[in-house]
Amino acid sequence: MKTVRVVAGIIIEDGKVFATQRGYGEFKDGWEFPGGKIEQGETPEEAVVREIMEELDTEVEVKELFDTVEYDYPKFHLSMDCFICKIKKGDLVLKEHEAAKWLTKETLHTVDWLPADYGLVEKLREMLSLQ
């Protein structure tokens, strides 16, 4: 099966996590962390900074790799590096997504995450509970 390499940015501010809802495509209406496919010649960190600038008009600083999700979708294998990010500059303008929410550890599970994200979201909830 083909492997698709993706990066996602987990933007955390004041204990809240920024989630976005996909506005188009196969996974339309699913909730995710902003990001996308790594392009040739890019590091994962560069890809996450580029994707968040493209999607949200916001510059982020990559803090640390939180987790790498490995998940089999019916048509491809997803390998997704998920980085904790902080906002450096910008107002998180929704250029591609249809909605966004700041979620707390209590509300993290109230949106319909993309199938690959459930384990990651649970790990994030545990991390926020320890803070």
Ligand X SMILES: Nc1nc2c([nH]c(=O)n2[C@H]2C[C@H](O)[C@@H](COP(=O)(O)OP(=O)(O)OP(=O)(O)O)O2)c(=O)[nH]1
Binding residues for Mg(2+): 35, 55
Closest separation between CB of residue 37 and ligand X, Å?
Answer: 4
Strand partners, 32: 20
**Interacting residue with ligand X among 48, 49, 92, 117 (CB under 6 A):** 117
**Structural contact between residues 8 and 80, judged by C-beta atoms closer than 8 angstroms:** yes
Closest separation between CB of residue 89 and ligand X, Å?
Answer: 21
**Interacting residue with ligand X among 33, 84, 92, 124 (CB under 6 A):** 33
Burial of 50 (C-beta count, 10 Å sphere; 0-12/13-18/19+): middle
Rule CB under 6 A: is residue 108 a binding residue for ligand X?
no
The tokens describing 21, both together, are 């809802």
Residues counted in the chain: 131
Rule CB under 6 A: is residue 28 a binding residue for ligand X?
no
Q: Which amino acid belongs to residue 6?
A: V
Task: Give me the residue label for tokens 């249809």.
Answer: 98
Three-state DSSP at 43 gives coil
| Residue closest to ligand X when measured from CB atoms | 36
Residues of each annotated binding site for 8-oxo-dGTP: 22, 32-35
Binding pattern for the stretch 39-78 against ligand X, x by CB under 6 A and - elsewhere: ---------------------------------------x
Rounded to whole angstroms, the Cα distance separating 13 from 127 reads: 14
**Structural contact between residues 21 and 98, judged by C-beta atoms closer than 8 angstroms:** yes
Residues that bind ligand X (CB under 6 A): 6, 8, 27, 32-33, 35-37, 78, 80, 114, 116-117
